[in-house]
């Protein structure tokens, strides 16, 4: 059953699909996928080509926008758009601390979650395409991890694609998680340096907050234990277009004077809780490193191990001297499963995933080298989340891929400059620019 309803300028239709949990066992257990169809209200009855949008992540449901903002407005000029909640996210069959115990214990949960990587998402897309488009290939737009999925799509089922558009999401085809994080920490350090250059007053503010956390037990309203490492992880926002400004505004009023002296304010702690909690997207923490697993090597908490190679990120050492406190970025650590109540029950499951030695390849370099699908990618010049050098090496591997390399945007260019970004990429892939 489908339900349609209106928002300003658009008609939305809820779509639901049933797909195998394991596509290699089509007669086995099934899960449900949810997607939202969007069409311009003045084109409702037109026969339009389809554009499938794959959200970044992993572990995030598709955008919940109102009307036709940003890139969506540009897409709706010529497409009927499908916003897919990838398996385990949004309104699809959920995978959280509340639902995963239905699978059994940690071993069963970890086994279940091995089916939530990009290859399974691609096969989901192919399973629903016939019902959505009548079998016609569609254009797929992948942002960040969605771009990883599009690269997998080009490897696994290029016959399903009319056009492939990637924004900030060209993955390395063969890098282990260790390689990814060794490239990431220097980029993160550059972003932090740029933040302090823009807002020099924040260097002392960050040190003061970190020092307070080293000497006090701070628990957020939801039960999250705010350690100095957790505070440093707020640097994940520095890879977005407005992230440096958001971080500055967060830091500027962190402390409040009370009868017992200065302490972190309720307002500050409430904002930090919203930024740090994984309650809405636990899959991001659970399977993040597995998106780089492609052989017998375990990921083995890669970000935590590799961070030890960069002692400048050690808060205690920075505070003992005159070095600035460095924030961190897009990395998952074991302590998150101790601090965050949404993740605590899943620590053993996460450990088992980190120890797995049977990851299978996600990409097919030979098939990508013979690609015939029109494909274009926006590569952001100093992307904090996806290494630019890795992306460009992959771009050279995919036959016919055109790149738009720009430093006008950060990783979320499709959000901050959506109409212009999508317009530019569609022109490139059509040889109109």
Distance set, CA 221 to CA 96, 117, 274 (Å): 20, 32, 10
Cβ contact 51:81 at 8 Å? yes
* Bridge partners of residue 118, in order along the sequence: none
State residue 238 phi and psi, 5-degree precision.
-70, -10
Rounded to 10°, the helix 177-198/388-397 angle is 130
Distance set, CA 278 to CA 272, 325, 340 (Å): 12, 24, 7
Q: What is the set of active-site residues? A: 144, 358, 411
* DSSP 8-state assignment for residue 330: S
Return the pLDDT at 410: 95
Q: Whole-angstrom distance between the N-terminal and C-terminal Cα of the chain?
A: 42
Return the pLDDT at 3: 87
Cβ contact 278:285 at 8 Å? yes
Encode pLDDT of 79-129 as tens digits.
999 999 999 999 999 999 999 999 999 999 999 999 999 999 999 999 999
Q: How far, in Å, CA of 275 to CA of 304, rounded?
A: 20
CB atoms inside a 10 Å sphere around CB 267: 12
Cβ contact 238:251 at 8 Å? no
Q: How far, in Å, CA of 191 to CA of 252, rounded?
A: 19
Q: How far, in Å, CA of 346 to CA of 287, rounded?
A: 12
Residues 6 or more apart whose CB falls under 8 angstroms from that of 278 comprise 284, 285, 336, 340, 342, 343
Return the pLDDT at 67: 87
State residue 420 phi and psi, 5-degree precision.
-70, -40
Return the pLDDT at 162: 98
The residue count of the chain comes to: 433
Encode pLDDT of 314-331 as tens digits.
999 999 999 999 999 999
Return the pLDDT at 1: 61
> Domain 3-173+363-429 belongs to what topology?
Rossmann fold (3.40.50)
Q: How far, in Å, CA of 209 to CA of 272, rounded?
A: 12
Local structure of 155: helix, strand or coil: helix
* Bridge partners of residue 405, in order along the sequence: 379
Supply 180's token pair.
Answer: 């990814």
**pLDDT < 70 stretches in the chain:** 1
Name the segment(s) of the chain with CATH classification 3.40.50.1820: 3-173+363-429
């Amino acid at each position: 059953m489908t339900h349609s309803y209106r928002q300003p300028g658009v008609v939305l239709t809820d779509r639901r699909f049933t797909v195998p949990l394991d596509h290699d066992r089509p007669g086995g257990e099934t899960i449900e996928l949810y997607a939202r169809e969007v069409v311009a209200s003045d084109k409702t009855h037109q026969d339009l080509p389809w554009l499938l949008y794959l959200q970044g992540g992993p572990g995030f449901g598709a955008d919940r926008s109102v009307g036709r903002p940003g890139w969506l407005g540009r897409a709706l000029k010529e497409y009927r758009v499908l916003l897919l909640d990838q398996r385990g996210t949004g309104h699809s069959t959920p995978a959280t601390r509340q639902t995963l115990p239905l699978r059994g214990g940690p071993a069963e949960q970890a086994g279940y979650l091995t089916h939530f990587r990009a290859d399974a998402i691609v096969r989901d897309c192919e399973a629903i395409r016939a019902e959505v488009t009548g079998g016609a290939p569609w254009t797929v737009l992948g942002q960040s991890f969605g771009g990883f999925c599009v690269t997998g799509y080009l490897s696994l089922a290029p016959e399903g694609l009319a056009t492939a558009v990637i924004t900030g999401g060209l993955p390395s085809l063969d890098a282990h998680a260790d390689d990814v994080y060794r490239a990431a920490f220097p980029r993160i350090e550059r972003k932090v340096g740029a933040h302090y250059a823009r807002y020099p007053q924040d260097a002392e503010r960050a040190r003061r907050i970190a020092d307070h956390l080293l000497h006090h037990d701070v628990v957020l309203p939801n039960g999250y234990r705010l350690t100095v490492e957790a505070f440093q992880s707020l640097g994940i926002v520095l890879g977005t277009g407005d992230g440096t400004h958001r971080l500055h505004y967060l830091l500027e009023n962190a402390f409040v004077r009370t009868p017992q002296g200065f302490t972190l304010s309720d307002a500050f702690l409430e904002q930090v809780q919203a930024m740090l909690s994984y309650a809405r997207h636990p899959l991001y923490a659970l399977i993040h490193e597995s998106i780089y697993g492609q052989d017998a090597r375990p990921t083995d908490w890669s970000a935590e191990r590799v961070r030890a190679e960069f002692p400048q990120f050690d808060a205690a050492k920075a505070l003992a001297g005159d070095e600035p406190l460095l924030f961190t970025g897009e990395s998952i650590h074991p302590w998150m499963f101790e601090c965050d109540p949404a993740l605590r029950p899943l620590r053993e499951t996460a450990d088992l995933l980190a120890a797995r030695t049977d990851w299978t390849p996600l990409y097919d370099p030979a098939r990508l080298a013979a690609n015939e699908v029109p494909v274009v990618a926006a590569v952001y010049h100093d992307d904090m989340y996806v290494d630019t050098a890795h992306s460009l090496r992959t771009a050279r591997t995919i036959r016919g891929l055109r790149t738009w390399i720009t430093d006008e945007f950060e990783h979320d260019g499709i959000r901050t400059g959506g109409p212009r970004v999508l317009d530019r990429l569609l022109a490139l892939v059509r040889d109109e620019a």
